[in-house]
Each structure stands twice: as C-alpha cells, then as structure tokens.
Structure 1
Amino acid sequence: MKTKLIHFLKLVFPSTYTEVAVFLFFITCYGILGSYIALNYRIIFDSRIPWDAYFSFDNKSILMTGGSFERHPLSYYFFNWIREFSLFISGGKMDANFRLTLAWLSNIIITLNIVQVFKYLKNIIRLPLSLNVLIILFFGVFSTNIILSFTPENFTYTLFLLSLYNHYAAIKLRKQEKTPTAALSLAVIGIGGLTITNLVKVFIPVFFEKGLFRDWRKVGNAVLRGAIAIICYALLYLNRIDFKYQNIFSKTNQQYEKFSNVESIPTWDMILSFFFGGNILFPSFIISDKHNMKGFSFKALYMESYSSVFSYIFVGILLALISWSYCKNFKNKWVQIIMISFFVDMIIHCVMRFGLHTSYIYGGHFVFVYPLLIGWLFYAYRSSPRISAFLTLTVALLFVYLLTNNWYRMSEFFWFLETYYQ
C-alpha cells in the first residue's frame, strides 16, 4: 500500500527537477494572474451572478450546486468540498479571500495539468527536453488554460483528470499491464462524475490492452472490470437523484434542445472559431446585457467568430499538424487512444451541435490532445533532421503568434473587468 501511494504521488505531482521547474514557472504565471483578478475584481465569484459573466462559465452556479445533475452527476459533492474549504480559509465570508482561495485551487490544478502533459511528452513519447519545453510553453498559453487557471468550474478539474488519466493509461500500456478495477472505477466516478459525456473516454485505453481480443479470458476480465466501474458509478448517480431515473432523460432532452439550436453563425465558422480555435486562440469579444432573473442586471462577455484571416490560418496550420500526426502514427495505439477520445467531442459538438455556439468553453475536455499529437509528430520524424527543424520552426512561430494574440485579448478582458467588475 505504501509503495502504491508513493507511485501515485509521483504520478500526480512533480517528481524530477525539470518537472518541479515546469510547475514553479506556471504556478508563478497563473498565480500572479489569478491573484490579481481575485483581489481586485469580483468576476470570479459574485453572489448576484449565477452564470455567464464571462464566456458562459457558471462559476456561482457550479460552486453552490455542482451544476445540472444530468450533465454533472456527481460534481455536487465535489464542489461542496471546494466551497467549504474556501469558506474555511476566508472565515466564512464570500469576499476577496474566498475568491483568492478559489483562484489558487484553479491555479494549482491547471498547473498540475501542464505537468501531466509535460510528463507524457517526457516519459511516454520521450522527446528531447528542448522540444518538451517548446511544446509545453505553447500549450501553457492556450486560452483554455489561461481562463481556467482562475475559474472555479467543472472544466478546470475535468481537464486535469483527463490529462492525468491519459498519462496513467499510457504508462500501463507501455508496461503491457491492464488498468486495475479500482483505478478504472475511480476514473469513471471522477471523470464521468464531473461531466457525463467524458465517461466513455475512460474505457478507450482498455480496448488497446495487449492481446485483449486474442484470449476470451482477457475479454471477460475487461468486461468485469468495466461492469464493476459502471455499477459503482450508476449507484452513486441514482443515489444523487433519489433513484428518480426518469428525470435524467427529460432533463437531458431539455438541455439538448436548449444548446443545439443556435443559427446565428454559420456552422463551419462555429466549428473553426469556437470548437477548434476559441479554446486555443482567443477571438475578439462582444459584451452583452444579462440579468439574473431576480432583478439584477450585469454585463457579460462572449467570444465572437474570428474576424482576421490570420486566425483562420493559425487554426488551419494547427489542424494540419495534428492530422499529419494522426496519419503518420496511425498504427500507434497511444495516438489512436488520443484521437478516438477527440472524436467523441467532435461528434457531440460538431455533428450533434450540442453547445457548438459556445464550444470554446468545452476545451477542458480535449485541449491536451493538441500538444500530445504534436509531440507524437516530432517523434515520428526523430530521425529526419530537416523535417524536425521545419516542425520546430512551425511550432515556434505558432507559439509567438498565439502568445501575442492572447496577451492582447487578455488586455481587453482586463478592460472589461475594470469597467464592470471592480
């Protein structure tokens, strides 16, 4: 038990000097950003604003209730702990110290997410340190990571859990070991409990276990592990709603109708600007008038579709890189796991159109895919200096553009805070 605990801690937290350096760098950057926002503005938590203050995140609603049970089945319990811990630190007041605690919890979780991606690049793909640093810096300035680094939301914790589980599952596959029942059940409860659509992603690595379909006993074992995980999850879910399972279907249909019938922007533009782009490269913003249904009016900030051709070029190049990586590494089981997971989100948002008009907020479900696929692309051409140099230059240029754009857009975000949320 002691050995397993040590291995778990080494998996989750930085365990080498380079990992500690990555952690310290990003916790400093995100910490300064989050602390400044928490201490000077009320945007992170305002008891009068239940949802949509910025980019459709539901800070207050999530913190107080965990979100809707049909989409976030078990997050109610998780956010009870988050809220009570933050209240304990702030002395029971929902003030600047309360916001600061929430911001720092998000800082730490998103930084640990960065560390998990770095560990994957280092331990699974085994790239040189210089390439790891370039890719992780690129990933670190994704708009999703920047926003979630101070946002108390389901997506913040889901992003970390998904990147952690992908790293863990990759280690198990490299060692040609199966995912234990306990780990599979915890992943189902944690990941699926925060957002139900991510439930299927937990089982994807199981299908790639060595020799699974060549031995009926291994198939039976995998089915048994999966069944135990699902039963545990289902019992907790049903207990959450007092076993009134009919509510799941009615509420799910209501949510789908509400978030899948928006025609204000062409579908192709929403896919590029919001699903593939907005969670990485900030577009321009638009301010909207909102109210909390109880007489309080406030200003909300949303993302628009891209207005610059350079933004579309950026997204096009990035999609070309990950598509190239997938084709080049098609027989690589680790790449297949990553892409199948990504396809799940594409089907939900791009094909079924659920939340497509605000799909930039769903980046917490999949943005870690981009640095991992770029890493596998570098791996595929590790013996080709020319192509490696070309890829390095391309990613470096994308990083410079991304950093410049997102820095500028964050200055606009601060103008919004200064104007409406002091």
Structure 2
Amino acid sequence: MKTKLIAILKQVFPASYAETAVFLFFLICYGTLGTYIALHYRIIFDSRIPWDAYFSFDNKAIVMTGGSFERHPLAYYFFNWIREFSLFVSGGKMDATFRLTLSWLSNITVSLCIVQIFKYLNNIIRLPLKISLLLILFFGAFSTNILLSFTPENFTYTLLLLSIYNYYAAVKLKKEEKIPGSALTLAGITIGGLTITNLVKVFIPVLFEKDLFRSWKKLGNTVFRVVLTTACFVFLYLMRIDFKYENIFSKTSQQYEKFSNVESIPDWDMMLSYFFGGSILFPSFMTTDKHNMKGFNFKGLLMEPYSSPFCYAFITILLSLILWSYFKNFNNKLVQIIAGSFLIDILIHCMMRFGLHTSYIYGGHFIFVYPLLLGWLFYTYRSKPKTLSFLIVTTGILLVFLLANNLFRMVDFFQFLEAYYQ
C-alpha cells in the first residue's frame, strides 16, 4: 500500500529537478496573473453574476453547485470541497481572499497538468530535454491554460485529470500491463463525474491492451472492468438525482437545442476560430450586455472570429503538424489513444455542433493533445537532423507568435476588467 501511494504521488507531483523547475516556473507565472486579478478585480467570483462574465465560463454557478447535473453529474460533491476550503481560508467571507484561494487552486491545478505533459514527453516519448521544454513553453502559452489558471471551472480540473490518466495509461501500456479495475473505476467516476462525455475517453486505452482480442479470458476481464466502471458511475449519477432518471433525457435535450442552433457565422469559421483556434490563440474580443435573470445587468466578454490571416495561418500550420504526426505514427497505439480522445470532442462540437459558437471554452477537454502529438512528430524524426531542425524552427516561430498575440489580447482583457469589474 505504501509503495502504491508513493508511486501515485510521484506520478501526480514533480519527481525530479527538471519537473520541479517546470512546476515552479508556471506556478509563479500563472500565480502572478491570478493573484493580481483576484486582489484587484471581482470577475473571478461575483455573487451577483452566475455565468458568462468572460468567455462563457460559469464561475459562480460552478463554485456553488458544480454546474448542471446532466453535463456535470458528480461535480456538485467536488466543488463543495473547493468552496468550503476557500471559505475556510477566507474566514467565511466571499471576498478577495476567497477569490484568491479559488485562483490559486486553479493555478496549482493547471501547473500540475503541465508537469504531466512534461512527464509524458520525457518518460514516454523520451524526447531530449530542450525539445520537451520548447513544447511545454508552447503548451503553457495556450489561451485555455492562461484562462483556466485563474478560473474556478470544471474544465480546469478536467484538464488535470485527463492529463494524469493519459500519462498513467501510457505508462501501463508501454509496460504491456493492463489498467487495473480500481484505477479504471476511479478515472471513470472522477473524469466522467466532472463532464459526462469524457467518460468514453477513459475506456479508449483499454482497447489497446496487449493481445486483448486474442484471448477470451483477457477480453472477458476487460468487459468486466468496463461494466464495473460504468455501473459504479451510473449508480452514483442516479443517486445524485434521487434516481429520477427521466430528468436526464429532458434536460440533455434542452441543453442540446440551446447550444447547437446558432447560425451567427459559418461552421468552418467557428471550427477554426473557436474550437481549434480560440482554445490556443486568442482572437479579438467583443463586449456584450448580460443579466442574471434577477434584475442585475452586467457586461460579458466573448471571442470574435479571427480577422487576421496570420491567425488562420497559425492554426492551419499547427493542424498540419498534428495531422502529419498522426499519419506518420499511425501504427503507434499511444498516438491512436490521443487521437481517439480528440476525435470524441471533434464529433461533439464540430460534427454535432454542440456549443460550437463558444467551443473555445471546452479546450480543457482536449488541448493536451497538441503537445503530445507534436512530441511524437519530433520523436519520429529524431535521427533526421534536417527535418528535426525544421520542426524546431517552425515550433519556435509559432511560439513567438503565440506569446505576442496572447499577451496583446490579455491587455484587452485587463482593459475590460478596468472598465467593468473593479
């Protein structure tokens, strides 16, 4: 038991000097940003504003209730702990200290997520340290990571849990071991409990266990583990809603209709500007008029479609690198797991159009895919210096543009805070 606990702690937390340095670097960067916002502005948590203050995040609603039960079935219990801990630190007041605590919990979570990606690049793909650091810097500058680093949301913690599970599954599969039923069940309850559609992602690595379809015994054991995980999840879900299962279907239908019938701009532009782009590279912002359904009016901030050809070029180049990596590593089961996870989000948001007009907020479900697939692309050409140099230079240029653009857009964000949230 002690050995397993130590192994878990080593996986989740930094376990080397390089990992500790990465963790502290992002903790300081994100922490400085979040601390300033929490102490000087009320946007992280305002008791009058339940949703949509910035980029459709539901800060107050999530902190107080965990979000809607049909999409976030078990988040209620998790955010009870988050809220009570923050209130304990703030002495029971929902003031600047309360906001600061929420912000630092998010900061620590996103920083630990980046450590997970760094571990994957180093220990699974086994990239040289300088390339791992380049990819980590690139990943750390994504708009989703910047926003989630101070935002108390389901996406913040989902990003960490998915990153931990992907690294854990990769370690198991690389050793040709199966994922234990206990680990599968825990992943299903935590990941699926925060966002139900992510439950499917928990089962993807199981499909790639060694000789799964060559042995009836192994297949039967796998079916048992999947059924056990699903049964535990469903039981807890139904218990959460007092076994009134009919509410799931009615609420889910309402949510789908609400978030899938927006015709403001062409689908292809929403995919590039919001789903693939907005979760990485900030576009320009627009201010909107909002109200809390109880007579309080406030200003909200949303992302606009890209207006610059350079932004479209950035996303096109990045997606080209991702596709290059996928096809070049098509026979790699670890790459197939990453791609399979990404495909689920593409189907939900791009094909089914659920929340496509605000799909930048869903980045916490999939942005970890980008540095991992880029890492596998670098690995493929490790013995070809010219191609490797090309990839390093290209990623470096993308990183410079990403940093310049996102820093510039964060200035706009602070101007919005100054105007409406002091």
Partners of 1:153 and 1:35 in 2: how far apart?
Answer: 17
Paired residue for 2:9? 9
Shift of 1:123: 0.3
Shift of 1:48: 0.2
Partners of 1:259 and 1:197 in 2: how far apart?
Answer: 15
Task: Tell me the amino acid that sits aligned with residue 195 of structure 1.
Answer: T
Paired residue for 2:42? 42
Shift of 1:266: 0.6
Paired residue for 2:254? 254
* 3-state SS, counterpart of residue 29 of structure 1: helix
What is the CA deviation profile of residues 372-398 of structure 1, one whole-angstrom value per residue up to 9, with x for unaligned ones?
Answer: 000000000011000000000000000
Partners of 2:151 and 2:219 in 1: how far apart?
Answer: 41
Task: Tell me the amino acid that sits aligned with residue 91 of structure 1.
Answer: G
Partners of 2:136 and 2:375 in 1: how far apart?
Answer: 10
Paired residue for 2:323? 323
Stretches of 4+ moved more than 3 A in 1?
Answer: none
TM-score for the superposition, normalised by structure 2: 1.00
- Whether 1:272 and 2:272 are equivalent positions in the alignment is yes
What is the CA deviation profile of residues 279-335 of structure 1, one whole-angstrom value per residue up to 9, with x for unaligned ones?
Answer: 000000000010111111100000000000000000000000000000000000000
Paired residue for 1:104? 104
* 3-state SS, counterpart of residue 207 of structure 2: helix
In the TM superposition, 1:297-312 aligns within 5 A as 297-312=297-312
Partners of 2:293 and 2:214 in 1: how far apart?
Answer: 58
Partners of 1:181 and 1:209 in 2: how far apart?
Answer: 13
In the TM superposition, 1:136-285 aligns within 5 A as 136-285=136-285
Paired residue for 2:113? 113
Q: Could you tell me the percent identity over the aligned residues?
A: 73
Paired residue for 1:377? 377
Partners of 1:205 and 1:378 in 2: how far apart?
Answer: 22
Shift of 1:408: 0.2
What is the CA deviation profile of residues 237-282 of structure 1, one whole-angstrom value per residue up to 9, with x for unaligned ones?
Answer: 0000000001000100000000000000110000000000000000
Paired residue for 1:407? 407
Paired residue for 1:391? 391
Paired residue for 1:291? 291
Shift of 1:179: 0.4
Shift of 1:232: 0.7
Partners of 2:266 and 2:5 in 1: how far apart?
Answer: 50
Which runs of 5 or more residues in structure 2 are unaligned? none
Paired residue for 2:61? 61
Task: Tell me the amino acid that sits aligned with residue 127 of structure 1.
Answer: L
* 3-state SS, counterpart of residue 300 of structure 1: strand
* 3-state SS, counterpart of residue 364 of structure 2: helix
Paired residue for 2:24? 24
Paired residue for 1:346? 346
Partners of 1:7 and 1:53 in 2: how far apart?
Answer: 40
Partners of 2:216 and 2:344 in 1: how far apart?
Answer: 27
Partners of 1:296 and 1:249 in 2: how far apart?
Answer: 31
Partners of 1:23 and 1:326 in 2: how far apart?
Answer: 28
Task: Tell me the amino acid that sits aligned with residue 388 of structure 2.
Answer: S
Task: Tell me the amino acid that sits aligned with residue 273 of structure 2.
Answer: S
Partners of 1:327 and 1:310 in 2: how far apart?
Answer: 26
Task: Tell me the amino acid that sits aligned with residue 384 of structure 2.
Answer: S
Partners of 1:128 and 1:336 in 2: how far apart?
Answer: 23
Partners of 1:295 and 1:244 in 2: how far apart?
Answer: 32
Partners of 1:282 and 1:163 in 2: how far apart?
Answer: 23
What is the CA deviation profile of residues 123-156 of structure 1, one whole-angstrom value per residue up to 9, with x for unaligned ones?
Answer: 0000000000000000000000000000000000
Task: Tell me the amino acid that sits aligned with residue 167 of structure 2.
Answer: H
* 3-state SS, counterpart of residue 278 of structure 1: coil
Partners of 1:279 and 1:264 in 2: how far apart?
Answer: 19
Partners of 1:359 and 1:383 in 2: how far apart?
Answer: 38
Partners of 1:303 and 1:268 in 2: how far apart?
Answer: 16
Paired residue for 2:124? 124
Partners of 2:373 and 2:301 in 1: how far apart?
Answer: 31
What is the CA deviation profile of residues 340-373 of structure 1, one whole-angstrom value per residue up to 9, with x for unaligned ones?
Answer: 1100000000000000000000000000000000
Shift of 1:217: 0.3
